[in-house]
């Protein structure tokens, strides 16, 4: 972790020193950072490392800066490291880096465009999932797939983004649309998404996102007392192998998330439901070898209570099914002898609490009772040892 932090500091040292040398009267800039260390324990199975023995293999840190060079133009970037067992490797990465130009800004209307590596609005939490201080819990609810590495795939995308807001009576409408340019999937992520073997041996391959887009429409009523949103993400993944194997594939993934939230001073109630159709096509030597189409779905209901400025608590129920037309998993097991129905779904009850010390420090703890093994990574659990299992997560963090 120390070496990763050194790389992080080196990556941003130049822009920070440059910003520090510029007169505050000439340019408006901000620099912020965060770091958090987690602990994970499971009574069975492994999650974010060898958690059945207790795992500290979960931490995250980042440094970000924004520079307002003109009333209408801002630049922002963040470098980060994140380690989460097999799900993330702790390597330094550029989380986002963008230019934001707001060409219309009136009392009731704004319109702007961002370009670079931009954040994707998806549900209520995708844009703020990088910092534990801005998440509702250490582990995000179903639909955000923290352990399936969805963070790396949908948190940001290189491309262009158009956004706008409109005030109309009690309503504040906002809309965002993003077109993502072609880019390669990180090699550390490929093995989590696809298990490709020939004769029991791993096959070299590359995954490329050929086309992706993201859109969200949100209505915030009475200053955010009520919030409703519909979000959609689409990504087309191309599989490429060396010419020797002549294997090619295309995987279309669509995520649609419907979100609703009610806020008061003391508590919030949030619910989200999502579907994810997947269309998979694989050819070998130009001949179709696989063609499947399934739709997974899932949702949650969550309550948060703010006891005082320092203490908070939450509870959540959630469920996820890999095939909503076969939620029991019986049809899948019948077609694939030797598989387990528990690998096709999960249901969980989650409860937790948080404590903030001033504006810089925070501590979080939560307990998950889980039925099913969808949350588990196969590389950490070649053979899950329990269908019913429990997860305890603790995290301490600092931000400035």
Q: How much is the pLDDT for 310?
A: 96
Percent helix, strand and coil across the chain, each rounded to 5? Answer: 15, 60, 30
- Name residues whose C-beta falls within 8 Å of residue 115's C-beta, 6 or more positions apart in sequence: 98, 99, 159, 160, 161
What is residue 286's DSSP assignment? T
The two tokens of residue 232 are: 């959609």
Q: How much is the pLDDT for 62?
A: 96
Q: How much is the pLDDT for 183?
A: 84
Q: How much is the pLDDT for 203?
A: 82
Q: Which whole-number Å values give the CA distances from 241 to 180, 251, 286, 317, in the listed order? A: 23, 15, 13, 41
Q: How much is the pLDDT for 149?
A: 58
The two tokens of residue 233 are: 């993400």
The two tokens of residue 388 are: 């019913």
Where would I find the H helices in the chain?
Answer: 2-21, 150-154, 187-193, 330-335
pLDDT tens digits in sequence order for the chain, 400 residues long: 444 444 443 443 433 333 333 444 568 999 999 999 999 999 999 999 999 999 999 999 999 999 999 999 999 999 999 999 888 888 899 999 999 999 999 999 999 999 999 999 999 999 999 999 999 999 999 888 877 656 677 888 899 999 999 999 999 999 999 999 888 887 777 777 777 777 777 788 888 888 889 999 999 999 999 999 999 999 999 988 888 888 888 999 999 999 999 999 999 999 999 999 999 999 888 888 888 899 999 999 999 999 999 999 999 999 999 999 999 999 989 988 888 899 899 999 999 999 999 999 999 999 999 999 988 888 888 888 899 999 999 999 999 9
Q: How far is 48 from 167, CA to CA, in rounded Å?
A: 43
Residue by residue, DSSP assigns 211-272 as EEEEEEEEEEEGGGTEEEEEEEEEEEEEEE--TTT-EEEEEEEEEEEEEEEEE-SSEEEEEE
What total number of domains does the chain contain?
Answer: 1
DSSP 3-state of 15: helix
Domain of 300 in residue numbering reads as 2-399
Count of CB atoms within 10 A of residue 245's CB? Answer: 14
Residue by residue, DSSP assigns 332-373 as HHHHSTT--GGGGEEEEEEEEEEEEETTTEEEEEEEEEEEES
- Name residues whose C-beta falls within 8 Å of residue 243's C-beta, 6 or more positions apart in sequence: none
Q: Which has the closest alpha carbon to 74: 97, 112, 100, 39? A: 100
* Cβ 149 vs Cβ 113: under 8 Å: no
Q: How much is the pLDDT for 141?
A: 93
Q: Which has the closest alpha carbon to 313: 136, 192, 186? A: 136
Q: How far is 140 from 99, CA to CA, in rounded Å?
A: 28
Q: What CATH code is carried by the domain that includes residue 371?
A: 2.40.160.10
Q: What are phi and psi of 363, to 5 degrees?
A: -135, 135
Q: How many CA atoms lie within 13 A of 26 on its CB side?
A: 6
Q: How much is the pLDDT for 22?
A: 40
Q: How far is 132 from 45, CA to CA, in rounded Å?
A: 24
Predicted model pTM: 0.88
* Cβ 330 vs Cβ 341: under 8 Å: yes
């Amino acid at each position: 972790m120390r070496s990763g932090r050194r790389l992080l500091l080196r990556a941003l040292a130049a822009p920070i020193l440059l910003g520090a040398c510029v007169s505050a009267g000439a340019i408006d800039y901000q620099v912020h950072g965060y770091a958090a260390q987690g602990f994970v324990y499971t009574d069975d199975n492994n999650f974010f490392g060898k958690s059945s023995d207790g795992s500290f293999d979960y931490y995250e840190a980042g440094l970000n800066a924004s520079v307002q060079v003109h009333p209408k133009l801002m630049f922002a970037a963040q470098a980060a490291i994140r380690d989460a067992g097999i799900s993330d490797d702790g390597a330094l990465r550029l989380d986002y880096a963008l230019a934001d130009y707001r060409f219309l800004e009136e009392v009731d209307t704004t319109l702007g465009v961002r370009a670079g590596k931009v954040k994707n609005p998806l549900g209520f939490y995708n844009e703020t999932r990088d910092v534990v201080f801005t998440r509702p819990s250490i582990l995000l609810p179903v639909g955000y797939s923290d352990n399936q590495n969805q963070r790396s795939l949908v948190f940001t995308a290189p491309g262009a983004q158009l956004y706008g807001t409109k005030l109309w009576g009690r309503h504040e409408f906002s809309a965002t649309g993003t077109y993502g340019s072609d880019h390669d999937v990180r090699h550390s992520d490929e093995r989590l998404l696809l298990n490709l073997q020939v004769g029991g041996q791993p096959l070299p391959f590359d995954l490329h996102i050929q086309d992706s887009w993201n859109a969200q429409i949100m209505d915030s009523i009475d200053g955010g007392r009520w919030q409703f949103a519909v979000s959609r993400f689409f990504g087309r993944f191309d599989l490429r192998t060396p010419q020797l194997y002549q294997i090619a594939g295309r995987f279309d993934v669509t995520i649609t998330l419907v979100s609703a939230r009610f806020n008061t001073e003391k508590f919030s109630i949030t619910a989200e439901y999502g579907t994810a159709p997947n269309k998979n096509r694989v050819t070998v030597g130009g001949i179709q070898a696989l063609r499947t189409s399934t739709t997974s779905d899932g949702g949650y209901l969550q309550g948060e209570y703010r006891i005082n400025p320092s203490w908070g608590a939450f509870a959540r129920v959630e469920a996820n099914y890999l095939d909503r037309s076969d939620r029991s998993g019986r049809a899948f097991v019948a077609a694939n002898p030797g598989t387990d129905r528990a690998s096709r779904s999960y249901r969980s009850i989650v409860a937790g609490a948080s404590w903030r010390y001033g504006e810089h420090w925070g501590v979080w703890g939560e307990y998950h009772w889980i039925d099913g093994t969808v949350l588990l990574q196969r590389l950490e659990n070649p053979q899950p040892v329990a269908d019913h299992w429990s997860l305890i997560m603790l995290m301490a963090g600092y931000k400035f």
